[in-house]
Structures are given as C-alpha cells and as structure tokens.
Amino acid sequence: MRYALLFVSREDDADAFENLTQDGRAEMYGRIGEWAKKHESKLSIGEQLQAPETATTVHFPGRFRRDQPPVVSDGPFIEGKEIIGGYWVIDVADLDEALEMAKEWPASTMVEIRPILERAG
Amino acid sequence: MKYMLSFVNLADEISAFEQATEQIRSEGLGRVVHWGEKYANKVLASEPLASPASAKVVRFSERFGDPASAIVIDGPFIESKEIFQGFCLLDAADEAEAIAIAKEWPGSRIVEIRATVPMLTRGAANPARAVADLATGMILASVEVATDADRAFRSLASPEITSWWLRAGVFDTREWSGDVRAGGRWHASGVGRGKPYELEGEFLEVDAPKKLAHTWQAAGAPGGQTVVTYLLEPTTNGTRITLRHDGFNSRETCEVTAIGWETSFQHLAELLAQEAVPA
C-alpha cells in the first residue's frame, strides 16, 4: 500500500523551527536523518515545500467545463494557521505501519496519512 | 525548478461529478488523461489521494514530534468544503511555466503551485556549520562534500546555485547567471518570505578548483557590498569547502545570512552526495 504522509505545522511551530539555535537545528536535522535512514526502504519521493506566502493559486470559475478563463492569485488556496510544510510518499504493508512511521516523524505539529489511489492497469 | 501542484476541489463539485452522466464523467477523465500525456516529460510524480474520509492524523502534543506524545485521530487535518484531492511534482523551467501548466489542468477547481526544496536527510552524517562574528560582521561556514574539488567548484559558480542557495520556508534562489572570470559579473534572483529579491556582484578571484571570491550585495544597493570567499581542499572523503563572508554592517543581516549559509551548505552536500551514489 502506498500512502502520502503530509506534514502539517501550526504557524507558531514553524516559526519556532526557524528560530532554533544552531545546536537545536543540528539535532533536528539529525533526527530527520535518522528517521530517513531507518525507513529508507519504504520511502519514495519526499519534498519540503517553500513558505505558503510563496504559493500561487489558480481558480477555475466554471464547474466541469473550462469555458471561462482561470483566475490566478497570490497565496495558498486556504489561509489557515496550519500549513502543509512537506510530504513523503511511502510504500508499506498496511496502515498500521504507516502510522508507526508517522508517529516517529520528528519535525511537525501533525502528520496526515492518506492512501494514494492506484490507477487500474 | 521543482514545483508541487496541489489539486483542490469543492466537496459539492466532487459529488456532482460522481453523479454526473457517463458522458460527462468520461469526458472529464479524458481531459485529465490528455493533460497527463501532454506534460508527461514535466510531471515527475503524480499522486491522487483517497478521499479525506479515509485519512488518519497523527498529532503530537509536544512541539517537534516526541513519539510518546503522538495520538492518532480520524479524518483530515482540516475539515473544509475544499478537498485536497492529490498532487503532482512538476519539473518546470520557472514559476511562469508551472502556472501556465496549472492553468490547463482540467481535474479540479483549484490548483495551488508551490516551489519545493529537497528533504534534508543526510544532515546527521555530515552537518554543515556556520558561525557569525557579529562584532566584525563576518561569517565562517564549512561543509565536506562527497565529490572531488573540480565538481564541487562547478556547483559554486553556475546555475546549479538555484539547487542549493536555499532555506525551506525562508528563501529560494530561482535564477543565477554569471560571467565566471575575475572582473566578470553575476546576478541571482529569488523569493524570500514571499517577496522577490535580487543579488549581484563581481568575481574577484577565480582559481579553479581551489579558490573563488566574489562580491555580494542586494542588487541596486551599492552601500551593502560584502565579500564571499570559498576555499576548497581535498579530504579523504571528498572536498572540504570553507566559506568566509565579510563586510556586514548589520548584525541582524549577518546573523540570518549565517543560517542561510548553513542550510545552503547542507543542500549542497546532499545534492553532491546523491550524485555520488552509483546508479
């Protein structure tokens, strides 16, 4: 089963991460490194996302059809205190294994675990 | 540049689509397939997600994920009429191209486009360090990279800089160009905290693969010139890069730039380590 682990942080946690001391940062990257090493065989792609204020959003006005031009705006699609900061795609036996990995993730306020839809064929 | 396109749809539109006629649904799916084929060479990965009803959330009560504080709850992290349906990772020349491709996406009402930064996962093995001497306005930084000095030198003065002058959530170099010879100019632009910035300077010394020095300042701000000097030395595992960045007038700029060099050097180490792994 493949799952997406979406790393979500409250703004204040994200700020605290940025304001860590040098030793605090080194420790955090060390823990992330250990996590990645431990679970290496289950990790597919993973990226950190740049800050939400760097996002651009495209809105399509019409339902289903694309007969009206899209509208482009600055900022993320949802303004919230909780932001997606990154993700990993993992390949594990089952949900329990995905949850165990998520519980060990050292660097965000929460982790959302969602199955990936596999295309038929 | 890599961008994540997040596909977001309205809950009522998803149910309307599920209840639509066979013809409308097959046309809709056909448009999505067509988009995927058209951009097959740009889409590095495409991950449609199951419905938010199937989501679980691990929430930590302690800051920075103490496993002992983790609780598991049902449902997506945020309840909303807007449903995060999936994402793809796009390799686009620049943001304009990523937006143009997103504008053709036929599968959801909203697409969010956000630049991505590689996960830093090797920091434990070989951390980059940077220290700021605020009294004299100088930064010293150092990292060991798993490649030879020639290869490392190339990454210091080329468009490859856009892959490592980075700090996730803080700044992101999007463009770099330069005339790499003593007296030649360089220019970089990027986005920091959601605002565009430009840097520029002049190469003072180009002695490949041992030493590189150039001036560094915000574009169009002649007062704030600083000097970056890189020294490269072979080690048993690769190359040690030592950076000295002097001439800061502002203690605050000196301090935040030091953290920027530290994260940038970590990205550089990961970039070159990935390359060194035999295929």
The residue assigned the tokens 């390949």 is: A91
For B146-204, what is each residue's pLDDT tens digit? 999 999 999 999 999 999 999 988 899 999 999 999 999 999 999 988 789 999 999 99
pLDDT at B223: 75
| Model confidence, pTM | 0.89
Q: Which residues, 6 or more positions from B35, have their beta carbon under 8 angstroms from its beta carbon?
A: B104, B105, B106, B107
For residue A37, what is the enclosing H or E element?
helix A22-38
Interface ipTM > 0.85: yes
Closest chain B C-alpha to A56 CA, distance in angstroms: 5
Task: Note whether B38 and B101 are within 8 A (CB).
Answer: no
Q: What is the DSSP string of A21-36?
A: -HHHHHHHHHHHHHHH
Provide, as residue numbers in chain A, all residues whose Cβ is less than 8 Å from the Cβ of B133. Answer: none
Check B112 against A76: CB less than 8 A apart: yes
B100 touches chain A (CB under 8 A): no
What's the average model confidence in pLDDT over B118-147? 88
pLDDT at A64: 64
Residue of B nearest to A50 (CA): B169
Question: Residue B64 — very low, low, confident or very high, per pLDDT cuts 50/70/90?
Answer: confident
Tell me the pLDDT of chain B averaged across its residues.
Answer: 91
Among A78, A109, A116, select the one facing B47 at the smallest CB separation: A116
Provide, as residue numbers in chain A, all residues whose Cβ is less than 8 Å from the Cβ of B266. Answer: 29
For A6-41, what is each residue's pLDDT tens digit? 999 888 888 888 888 888 888 888 889 999 999 999
For B203-247, what is each residue's pLDDT tens digit? 999 999 999 999 999 998 777 899 999 999 999 989 999 999 999
Provide, as residue numbers in chain B, all residues whose Cβ is less than 8 Å from the Cβ of A104. Answer: 65, 67
% residues pLDDT > 70 (chain B):
97
Task: Determine the residue among A6, A21, A50 to mutate to test chain B binding: the one whose Cβ has the most chain B Cβ atoms within 10 Å.
Answer: A50
Q: Which residues, 6 or more positions from B259, have their beta carbon under 8 angstroms from its beta carbon?
A: A22, A25, B130, B167
pLDDT at A121: 42
Closest chain A C-alpha to B65 CA, distance in angstroms: 4
Provide, as residue numbers in chain A, all residues whose Cβ is less than 8 Å from the Cβ of B129. Answer: 22
Pairing of strands B70-74, B211-218: unpaired
pLDDT of A120 over the 60 cut: no
Closest chain A C-alpha to B48 CA, distance in angstroms: 5
For B239-278, what is each residue's pLDDT tens digit? 999 999 999 999 999 999 999 999 999 999 999 988 876 5
Q: What is the DSSP string of A45-114?
A: EEEEEPPGGG-EEEE--SSS---S--EEEES-SS--SEEEEEEEEEE-SSHHHHHHHHHH--SSSEEEEE
For A41-81, what is each residue's pLDDT tens digit? 999 999 999 988 899 999 998 766 667 889 999 988 877 78
pLDDT of B279 over the 50 cut: no
A30 touches chain B (CB under 8 A): yes
pLDDT of B130 over the 90 cut: yes
Axis-axis angle for helices B22-38, B11-18 (nearest 10):
110
Provide, as residue numbers in chain B, all residues whose Cβ is less than 8 Å from the Cβ of A60. Answer: 108-110
Among A66, A85, A107, select the one facing B65 at the smallest CB separation: A107
Provide, as residue numbers in chain A, all residues whose Cβ is less than 8 Å from the Cβ of B259. Answer: 22, 25
Nearest to A105 by CA among B70, B21, B111: B70
